[in-house]
Amino acid sequence: MIYLDNAATTKMFKECVSEYEKYACADFFNPSTNYIYGVDISKALNSAREKLLAKLGAKKGDIIFTGGATESNNLALRGSLRKGWEHVVSLGEHPSVFNLAKELENDNIIKFVPLQKNGQIDYEALEKALNSKTRLISVIHVSNETGAVNDIKRISKIRDKICPKALLHVDGVQAFCKIEFGLDDLGADLYTISAHKFHGPKGVGALYVKNKQSLKSIVFGGGQEYGLRSGTENVGGIMAMCCAFEKIDVKKNFEHVKKLNALFKSKFSGVQGVSYIETESPYIISLSFSGVNGETLMRALEKDVVVGMGSACSSKKAGNRILESLGFDKDKIKSSLRISFNAYLSEEEVAMAAEIIAEKYKEVWEKVK
């Protein structure tokens, strides 16, 4: 079986499993305790924070360890709420941002900004949505549906021109360890990551916070994580996450995945009925197979090739609001699948997977036409 749904989750590095075991079984102590063993664990966590800051390209700021991207995104949006202020959110966000924003919309504090046809946020519409009451702007870095890459630096400059005190939150789940960037250069105040998207464990993530005073806690308890995320830290998960991002050479991997992406697309050059969205991140391709239901094709493929149908966090729901916002009709949305790579796939695997998908599409199309 060839796995091509890496935007949903990735296979954990074996070295990270060993690191998790070390902190779960040998160095299992609670970092909030005062005896030497707990103090040592606290020092290990602080070292992991420093390493993550460096990997993110941030000289200043703090790392809040969380249970994953959903919690980080909720902390960013809920924790920055202030009475009389507004949040501006793109329509291209992951469900962990979008669905929360829909809840907050009832309180008249949310403005949604549409997307362009290329999947990026509409920068002109964003500029019009901002004002002196804007408290937070939330924009995904790389779309988990299409691979479109938003120009965060451009958004930061727009913010600085209109509402310089507003916070810029970026969901970087599909960007971190996949595309090159530096937070100090981007100008983001809050940045979300999730370990299981870059070969770390599930159930652990982080929120970069430029200024801790900009957020209020949404989880109350013992005051861990600077009082912003109470609860005993998942030390094994955090250290395994650190192990994962330290292993990754972002530039080298990006170049390899670019080749995989081009190779995969080349296998469909003569196949009628197949189309895809051209985007900047090579890690994700949104493919449409005319005349065939995407779920039917996915089921027909799953013994040989595993592909996705968009965000795993909303796979139980009908439709696809991201593709709808790009102007796709219902038939094209129903016929769409998401292919997502990791940097450790071989060219042979990707070529074989593409050939299998193309052949299976023809077989299914013959049956339903």
**Residues known to be catalytic:** 313
Q: How far apart are CA 280 and CA 52, in angstroms?
A: 25
Give the Å distances, CA to CA, from 13 to 89, 160, 246, 261, 356. 34, 40, 11, 22, 27
Q: How far apart are CA 198 and CA 99, in angstroms?
A: 24
The 10 Å CB-count burial string (b at 16+, else e) for 130-148 is beeebbbbbbbbbbbbbbb
Given the DSSP bridges, would you call strands 205-209 and 190-194 parallel, antiparallel or unpaired?
A: antiparallel
| CB 262, CB 251: distance < 8 Å | no
Segment holding 278, helix H or strand E = none
Query: Which pair of tokens denotes residue 19?
Result: 């690191």
Please report, in angstroms and rounded to a whole number, the separation of the first and last CA atoms in the chain: 28
